[in-house]
A and B are shown apart, each in its own frame.
Chain A
């Protein structure tokens, strides 16, 4: 699809020739993830996380479909059917723990995938569409994960649903009708649980569809690489199969080992104990917190404690929380430095690591109770978050003096191995 020197699919077996002439699906697969897709030869292990994200989605779909066979989306029985899965369904405990921890691991690999894109500026031309579609996937994932967390109908499910849909209630005038419409009632109940279940089952397939577009858009220019220098010829690439299938196989092994450690030896470590208490609309938990992967955004939401003239603090928090994700859609046009890779951008690199630390601090504060000093820390950290993307990145692009780039991928590889380019 991308480069003229890509291997062509030439089936030898008569059956495969017959199929190829009628439905060139094998050809499609060969060109997408087989030997027909040339990939830069210098990708490091941070390029494993795209495939791992796809793998995580598959785990979620398989374990989720099995659990849906035993789950009852009704406020009277939902909590009990989850316990039924845990106690009476053969291997049900494995399905549920794999699904719950699988969601966390999905976010871990996706966050690494996103930060890889940020460091190597994978969002820059000609790959803007890949980045934008990736963000759409991220938003869909967040919606899916949120609705999935409501399904066990524990205390955090219920109160999480109440808080998150309450965010829409902060919108002036139409907010409360919207919240009521979203929930199908004035508070989370059977109507909300049913629609969340329906959408939680639907959205993963929408995600799968957008992933196809994401990969399609990627295959037009081909993958970026750690030098950020575009592919110049056949010597710069290797075929995806067997080179990157082998490397992804090893990456998948490491991923499965870490997931297995969580599922088998600490399945509730990432969860909140309150969600093992059945939902009770009359008893508010002491600290309502979402799952860990939402903590940075939750910290931004709660960082706004003062009204801005006529704008209430709550609405500001909601706007800021949505803005913190939506601003990423503008990133390809905010950072207009011609150099992609952070390796050759000394100033950018420093701020990138500050951003990483900043997001970790935000995450910690988002999981902590809404009291001092966490609110003050999240205010400073949120301020940096917005300043980083909206003010600092464009300024760096204007003032930074990038390091000299290698002439080509091959030159960079050979220099690393102490040889001159042929």
Chain B
């Protein structure tokens, strides 16, 4: 009984799936799916040799500081960094006084209430504060940015495939829409107010190119020249740190844990062989 019932159920599901397959295949052959501009012109991120790549990679603190400089002078005008505190900047090699100064001189105030009146008011950030947001709320952010809300950047490099390379590629990937694309897909001309970028999923991005000229940010002495490429790499490294601040702890702990586990597993293997030595199996 069970087998007859099973046979009928199996026949139904498998049969209908094969019928669906044939109908789908006929439709696919007679009317192949139209190619889309996103499919043909979207590009995978360019690969950068970041210092933190690989299982032993470390952050380059000088680079993170440069990246933070780019973030604070360029990105921070529109983008928030809501999961990062000023005190976290100590990881970048700033001492306590420097962190305090950075918080104190931050252009945006931390929202709070006036201790005397109870009215909403901004106050000067302290190191334990998270980075204050540039816009009071999403409505204000959308209103100021042509209806596109600038996303928070704390986790950006983990929220995209191949995130560190993605951020770098996006920042350096702005270009005129290729003539070939317009020839093939005349309907998908980049709309006014958007910007063509092949690294962006749907190719047209609301954000105007943020890094446009060499020397847009002035790096300290002994640092590399602030070319657009260099600034993009630096800020991508900085945003990798904001997304994964414990990466160095993780990797160094991982090496120790693996070493311990290899020794323990070798011992476990020897005791296994020892226990079974006399027993054929």
Interface set, chain B 19-57, CB cutoff 8 A to A: 19-21, 23-25, 28, 33, 55
Please tell me if B100 contacts chain A, counting CB pairs below 8 Å: no
Name the B residues within 8 Å of A257 (CB-CB). 258, 261-262, 265
Complex-state Cα separation, A371 to B269, whole angstroms: 47
DSSP majority for the A interface? helix
Interface set, chain A 271-317, CB cutoff 8 A to B: 273-274, 276-278, 286, 303-306, 308, 316
Please tell me if A349 contacts chain B, counting CB pairs below 8 Å: no
Q: Which of B18, B55, B261 meets A380, CB within 8 Å?
A: B18
Q: Which of A80, A252, A254, A268 meets B158, CB within 8 Å?
A: A268
Name the B residues within 8 Å of A341 (CB-CB). none
Q: In the complex, are the beta carbons of A316 and B83 less than 8 A apart?
A: no
Given contacts A260-B254, A273-B160, A375-B24, contact A87 B246 (CB under 8 A): yes
The smallest C-beta distance from B21 to any residue of chain A, in angstroms, reads 4
User: Which one of B6-14, B60-68, B223-231 is at the A interface?
Assistant: B6-14
Q: In the complex, are the beta carbons of A243 and B20 less than 8 A apart?
A: no
Q: In the complex, are the beta carbons of A305 and B20 less than 8 A apart?
A: yes
Q: Which of B151, B160, B264 meets A253, CB within 8 Å?
A: B264
Complex-state Cα separation, A261 to B258, whole angstroms: 8
Q: In the complex, are the beta carbons of A250 and B10 less than 8 A apart?
A: no
The smallest C-beta distance from B156 to any residue of chain A, in angstroms, reads 8
Given contacts A273-B158, A391-B10, contact A303 B275 (CB under 8 A): no
Q: In the complex, are the beta carbons of A83 and B83 less than 8 A apart?
A: yes
Q: In the complex, are the beta carbons of A383 and B257 less than 8 A apart?
A: no
Q: In the complex, are the beta carbons of A249 and B158 less than 8 A apart?
A: no
Given contacts A253-B261, A260-B261, contact A334 B17 (CB under 8 A): no
The smallest C-beta distance from A252 to any residue of chain B, in angstroms, reads 7
The smallest C-beta distance from B129 to any residue of chain A, in angstroms, reads 14
Given contacts A246-B272, A249-B271, contact A263 B254 (CB under 8 A): yes
Name the B residues within 8 Å of A252 (CB-CB). 268
Complex-state Cα separation, A250 to B273, whole angstroms: 10
Q: In the complex, are the beta carbons of B33 and A303 less than 8 A apart?
A: no
Name the B residues within 8 Å of A250 (CB-CB). 265, 268-269, 271-272
Complex-state Cα separation, A316 to B9, whole angstroms: 12
Name the A residues within 8 Å of B158 (CB-CB). 268, 273, 276
Q: Which of B7, B23, B163, B258 meets A394, CB within 8 Å?
A: B7
The smallest C-beta distance from B213 to any residue of chain A, in angstroms, reads 31
Q: In the complex, are the beta carbons of B6 and A327 less than 8 A apart?
A: yes
Closest to B160 in A: A273
Closest to A382 in B: B17
Q: Which of A253, A261, A371 has the most CB of B within 10 A?
A: A253
Q: In the complex, are the beta carbons of B280 and A417 less than 8 A apart?
A: yes
Q: In the complex, are the beta carbons of A274 and B10 less than 8 A apart?
A: no
Q: In the complex, are the beta carbons of B14 and A256 less than 8 A apart?
A: no
Please tell me if B197 contacts chain A, counting CB pairs below 8 Å: no
Q: In the complex, are the beta carbons of A273 and B163 less than 8 A apart?
A: yes
Q: In the complex, are the beta carbons of B20 and A306 less than 8 A apart?
A: yes
Q: Which of A273, A277, A303, A386 meets B20, CB within 8 Å?
A: A303
The smallest C-beta distance from B200 to any residue of chain A, in angstroms, reads 12
Complex-state Cα separation, A400 to B246, whole angstroms: 58
Closest to B161 in A: A273
Closest to A92 in B: B246
Complex-state Cα separation, A134 to B151, whole angstroms: 45
Name the B residues within 8 Å of A254 (CB-CB). 265
Please tell me if A186 contacts chain B, counting CB pairs below 8 Å: no
Contact with A along B131-151 (1 / 0, CB 8 A): 000000000000000000001
Please tell me if A323 contacts chain B, counting CB pairs below 8 Å: yes
Complex-state Cα separation, A323 to B11, whole angstroms: 13
Name the A residues within 8 Å of B6 (CB-CB). 327, 330, 334, 389-391, 394
Please tell me if A325 contacts chain B, counting CB pairs below 8 Å: no
The smallest C-beta distance from A314 to any residue of chain B, in angstroms, reads 13
Interface set, chain B 238-281, CB cutoff 8 A to A: 243, 245-246, 249-251, 253-255, 257-258, 261-262, 264-265, 268-269, 271-272, 274-276, 279-281
Please tell me if A414 contacts chain B, counting CB pairs below 8 Å: yes
Name the B residues within 8 Å of A83 (CB-CB). 83, 154-155
Q: In the complex, are the beta carbons of B13 and A323 less than 8 A apart?
A: yes
Complex-state Cα separation, A97 to B254, whole angstroms: 12
Q: In the complex, are the beta carbons of A260 and B264 less than 8 A apart?
A: no
Instruction: Spell out A's residues near B (CB within 8 Å).
Output: 41-43, 80, 83, 86-87, 93-94, 97, 238, 242-243, 246-247, 249-250, 252-254, 256-257, 260-261, 263-265, 267-268, 273-274, 276-278, 286, 303-306, 308, 316, 320, 323, 327, 330, 333-334, 336, 371-373, 375-376, 379-380, 382-384, 386-387, 389-391, 394, 413-414, 416-417
A264-B250, A372-B28, A383-B15 are known; give 10 further A-B pairs, CB within 8 A: A87-B246, A243-B276, A247-B272, A247-B276, A254-B265, A273-B160, A273-B161, A273-B163, A306-B23, A376-B21
21 A–B contacts from the bound complex (CB under 8 Å): A83-B155, A94-B253, A238-B279, A243-B276, A250-B268, A256-B261, A261-B258, A263-B254, A264-B253, A267-B250, A268-B158, A276-B155, A276-B159, A277-B151, A306-B16, A327-B9, A336-B3, A372-B28, A379-B18, A383-B15, A413-B280
- Nearest 5 CB-CB pairs, A to B? A264-B254, A390-B10, A253-B265, A276-B159, A383-B17
